[in-house]
Structure 1
Amino acid sequence: MLRTLHIRDFVIVEQTEIHFGPGFTVFSGETGAGKSILVDALALALGERGDASMLREGAARADITAVFDTPKALHAWLEEREIDADAELSLRRVIDAQGRSRAYINGTPATVAQLRELGDSLVDIHGQHAHQSLMRPDAQRDLLDAHGGHGELRHAVGQAWKQWRALARQLESAEKDAESLATERDRLQWQVDELDQLALGPDEWESLQSEHTRLSHAQSLLEGATRILEALDGEGDSAHHRLAQADNQIQHMLRRDPELRGVYEELESARIAITEAVSDLNNYVSRVELDPQRLDTVEIRLSLVFETARKFRVDPDALCELRETLHAQLSALQAAGDVEALRAQALAAQAQYDAAAAKLTAARRKTAKDLGKLVTQAMQTLAMQGGKFEPVLGASAPSAHGNEQVEFLVAGHAGTTPRPLAKVASGGELSRISLALSVIASRAARVPTLIFDEVDSGVGGAVAEVVGKLLRELGERHQVLCVTHLPQVAACANNQFLVSKAESRGTTRSSIEELDAQARVEEIARMLGGIKLTATTREHAREMLQGFER
């Protein structure tokens, strides 16, 4: 639940810190004192949009911090984003005079979107104009789904719709472009067939070039190798013969001068090197063949590869990669152009959507009966005896929201036929029905803190007391905060704060204080009788507070 709200330089609030407890808490005060400013400040800390107009006159920045108990369900969310998951969860929002915004979660810089995401799990705010949203069909559908807990079913329907429509658009495109796709497919098939027929290996081009060079110069290579062999180890005055003579001579000289050992070793190394070179050349000569037939074969292959490369306007060594690319393009085109396969996939996706939508429809019908019963019961206690509330599901074209539209019908009195809410409900009736819906929907809410900002407008007298009791009952399961101008509602609260404003040196300031038992009597008496308080209004206030434990 919400523990603390610290506000500095926000609208007409200079600085205040409010500590909250469990149960039902109300904020009261004169009109314009700034009661709803508290709700606006908390909404800002929860990620609502803000700008420089929210700053107190002359202030450099507005700074708002809301501290909550950390729900266990949010620990994983915080750890995933490397934010400390402490026992308390601090959400801070700062807006400067230029309208720039900064956000922090437990002291760690965060985005406004992250504040908003956390806020959805912490607080549910019912604004003073919430009844106006009931006019919209989408709001009525959302409220019904929220009451029934249809979140997972709605998500499944939305995903199935998205998949179905994507395949349907792909099928439509394939059917429309079938002729052009067939032409492109034939072109690619011809190119792939020609490259497959060539069947050039990954390193074949380089190997062919090397082999062609060797075969085309075989005669000159053989003659050159033979001449080198003759020079190195031929009969007569060869290099090997001269080194042998030099070797014999140096050995005789070594007996007389050991310092020639280095020269001897160098000559010996040269002799060994020549011997190895002669051996390698003999092996080379034995391998070199004069093979005109193989040369013709290689030249034909080279010519074919070169001609194909020229036709496709690429280098010969790029033909293998081109072949793989064209194969991939052809496969993709064949898949895209397979109208029957796409039609089967689209039908399967439609069946999946129909199944998901049918489950959502069944759940909505069940929830509509339950919600209608609960709101109808609440209407009897809210000065609408004999009235009836009936959510109706009407068939609609398939969409991401399902196969039906939701419409709230209401009969304000006994004997009248339920008609659309927007057409028959008066302002007061609409406000009361909105409040009943808010309270009933909030009973199933998973968020720990519920805020009602003057949603009790348009009611009074005994009905106001019923409203207060409803909110107090709700406070037994949630932390409930309510901005109200009704003494009957305020008297039902566990805790009460007074919001007041004062002018000092030409500047208006708003202040907030928690009321003790005696101060509550004074405030509720003011709410009952206006500025001038009498013993009668004070006694009436005490009577209203009797029976409710603080």
Structure 2
Amino acid sequence: MLRALDIHDMLLIERLGLEFHPGLNVLTGETGAGKSILLDCLGFVLGWRGRAELVRKGAQQGEVSAVFDLPDGHPAHAVLAEAGLPGGPELILRRVNATDGRKTAFINDRRASGEVLRALSATLVELHGQQDDGGLLNERGHRALLDAFAGHDDLLAATRAAWAARAKAARALSQAEAQLAEVKGEEDFLRHAVAELDKLAPEPGEEAKLDAERRLMQAGEKIRADVARAAQALGPEAAEGLLRDADRWLQGAADRAEGRLDAALTALDRALIELGEAQQGVEEALEAFAFDPRALEACEERLFAIRGLARKHAVLPDDLGRLAEDLRARLAALDAGEGRIAELQLELRDAETAFARAAEALSTARAEAATRLDAAMAHELAPLKLERAVFETRLARGDAGAEGVDAVAFTVATNPGAPAGPLNKIASGGELSRFLLALKVVLARGADALVLIFDEIDRGVGGATADAVGRRLARLAEGAQVLVVTHSPQVAARGAHHFRVQKSVSDGMTTSDVVALAPNERRDEIARMISGAEVTEAARAAAEDLLKG
């Protein structure tokens, strides 16, 4: 609900503060008093496009502030959250216009862009008038309006879910077909590469192990001869034989040496033991360095094969195993691709069938709702002196989407036998305003989150028709806040709150002001609307009758 509007130095308004209320708020005043200025200022703070020059003559800048009450669940909360702006039960919009044309917007005292401001305004206010080129006249929104009137949210949700499932199945099939086409192009390479890798079957770490074995065998070939000569020098024909001869000779002499050879014999025993250990180490080395030249050749052949395959595929030798697994998986996908494509095609057909069923159920419900909407409109149009007009909700086959397959358009024929067409192309100005009012009344569902503004929607009608307009506006206001700019006393009398727009001249400066009217002032204002500049007692009496309803 719009709770307050403050205007400083805008157009003809120097300073103005207004408080609005729930229900039907009417604004009246003489032609030229500035009623449209008030709407221009409200549109300015909401970010709407409007007049280029808004700052009051002589002022440095103009400023408009609007305060809205936001109940829990109001759509504006989501806009604020998405924009990272502070929320709460109160929303304060402020917009400043400098004389050079620069505009600055604030939302809850935080700087904000015009884009965010307009997104918020779409959740706050809806303007209807004879020049209305959006809202109810925008054919792109007619399907959503029909769905809201029908109240078949379950069918709409089912259709959206079925469309999402269909889209998911279509994406899966498209991706699988693209992958299959890509893999098919490299089928020969995959089969050859997998066969080559499977034949070699390299293992992680094998390249390093083969390299070490190769270097060991190459080194052994060079040093084995020296080790063999060392083994010969330590053997029985050389060092070992000499030491054993020395031991035998000393043992034979020890009995006669009275212990002088004991130490030498002990040392010689140790030397023989050490010599035996040396011989064992040399023999083990000889055995380790012993190799079959064919083994070296086989080692080198496998090592070079692994390294060559790694260079061919531009991977590390230890990554050849993972590469083989990847290529085998791609080859398996190729081999299983046709079968998978067939499965996905079946899934897509099932999803399309499910969507078609959901869309058909939604179309049937829309057709039934369209009949009810047309009947409700016929009921509303008669009191508005449009009993000869025929309102028709037309359903046609449109592009399939999350909302089904229906294109919806509200059309009207103003006279029997006349061709039907869009509201804004068939109806005249006065007729259009009444069509819009009737449509809004029919489409209203409980408390409306929007503030509804009707700008001179009653122009060109009077008497019983104007009274019917007023009654319908009052009915709308039972579930929403409604602001009406009107020249009709019948409409003004239906208001719960009445404001008069008036113009004055002081020191050569023209200004507009808006005042809230007390009950007796309401009577005089309505009497003025009935009789003109001179308010007569008869006009006051007529005004009393209108106010009594």
Q: CA 1:519 to 1:183, structure 2 compared with 1: closer, same or farther past 3 Å?
A: same
Aligned equivalent of 1:256: none
Aligned equivalent of 1:301: 302
The one-letter code matched in structure 2 to 1:479 is Q
**Count of residues in Structure 1 that have an aligned counterpart in Structure 2:** 497
The one-letter code matched in structure 2 to 1:525 is A
Gapped regions of structure 2 (runs ≥ 5): 230-238, 240-277
Deviation (angstroms), 1:64: 3.4
* 1:64 and 2:45 correspond: no
Task: Report the TM-score when normalising by structure 2.
Answer: 0.73
Secondary structure of the residue that 2:73 maps to in structure 1?
A: helix
Larger radius of gyration: 2
Task: Measure the CA separation in 1 of the matches of 2:208 and 2:104.
Answer: 62
Aligned equivalent of 1:35: 35
Deviation (angstroms), 1:467: 0.8
Gapped regions of structure 1 (runs ≥ 5): 228-234, 236-277
Q: How does 1:87-486 map to 2 (within 5 A)?
A: 87-94=89-96, 102-130=104-132, 137-149=139-151, 153-154=155-156, 157=159, 160-161=162-163, 164=166, 182-195=184-197, 197-218=199-220, 290-292=290-292, 295-313=296-314, 316=317, 319=320, 339-385=341-387, 387-396=389-398, 398-410=400-412, 412=414, 419-420=420-421, 422=423, 425-444=427-446, 446-447=448-449, 449-486=451-488
Secondary structure of the residue that 2:459 maps to in structure 1?
A: coil
CA contact (8 A) 2:83 2:116 kept: no
The one-letter code matched in structure 2 to 1:541 is A
Task: Measure the CA separation in 2 of the matches of 1:15 and 1:330.
Answer: 79
Task: Measure the CA separation in 2 of the matches of 1:50 and 1:156.
Answer: 41
Task: Measure the CA separation in 2 of the matches of 1:520 and 1:363.
Answer: 47
CA contact (8 A) 1:431 1:458 kept: no
Secondary structure of the residue that 2:464 maps to in structure 1?
A: helix
Secondary structure of the residue that 1:450 maps to in structure 2?
A: strand
Task: Measure the CA separation in 2 of the matches of 1:343 and 1:47.
Answer: 49
Aligned equivalent of 1:518: 520
User: Quick one: which of 483, 490, 494 aligns to 1:492?
Assistant: 494
Aligned equivalent of 1:257: none
The one-letter code matched in structure 2 to 1:473 is R
CA contact (8 A) 1:128 1:452 kept: no
Task: Measure the CA separation in 2 of the matches of 1:366 and 1:287.
Answer: 99
Aligned equivalent of 2:259: none
Moved more, 161-170 or 186-195: 161-170
Secondary structure of the residue that 1:72 maps to in structure 2?
A: coil
* 1:17 and 2:17 correspond: yes
**1:158-201: CA deviation from partner (whole Å, max 9, x where unpaired):** 56546646765886898899877632455445445544554444
CA contact (8 A) 1:443 1:474 kept: no
Q: CA 1:99 to 1:222, structure 2 compared with 1: closer, same or farther past 3 Å?
A: farther
Secondary structure of the residue that 2:356 maps to in structure 1?
A: helix
Q: CA 1:215 to 1:342, structure 2 compared with 1: closer, same or farther past 3 Å?
A: same
Q: CA 1:394 to 1:448, structure 2 compared with 1: closer, same or farther past 3 Å?
A: closer
Task: Measure the CA separation in 2 of the matches of 1:368 and 1:527.
Answer: 39
Aligned equivalent of 2:252: none
Task: Measure the CA separation in 1 of the matches of 2:53 and 2:288.
Answer: 92
CA contact (8 A) 2:25 2:484 kept: yes
**1:420-456: CA deviation from partner (whole Å, max 9, x where unpaired):** 4557644433332221001221244641532223333
CA contact (8 A) 2:224 2:286 kept: no
Let me know the Cα RMSD of the aligned residues. Answer: 4.6
Task: Measure the CA separation in 1 of the matches of 2:171 and 2:147.
Answer: 29
CA contact (8 A) 1:218 1:290 kept: yes
Task: Report the TM-score when normalising by structure 1.
Answer: 0.72
**1:1-45: CA deviation from partner (whole Å, max 9, x where unpaired):** 221122334444444222111211012233444424444444454
CA contact (8 A) 1:372 1:390 kept: yes
Task: Measure the CA separation in 2 of the matches of 1:326 and 1:54.
Answer: 71
Q: CA 1:195 to 1:54, structure 2 compared with 1: closer, same or farther past 3 Å?
A: farther
Secondary structure of the residue that 1:3 maps to in structure 2?
A: strand
The one-letter code matched in structure 1 to 2:65 is T
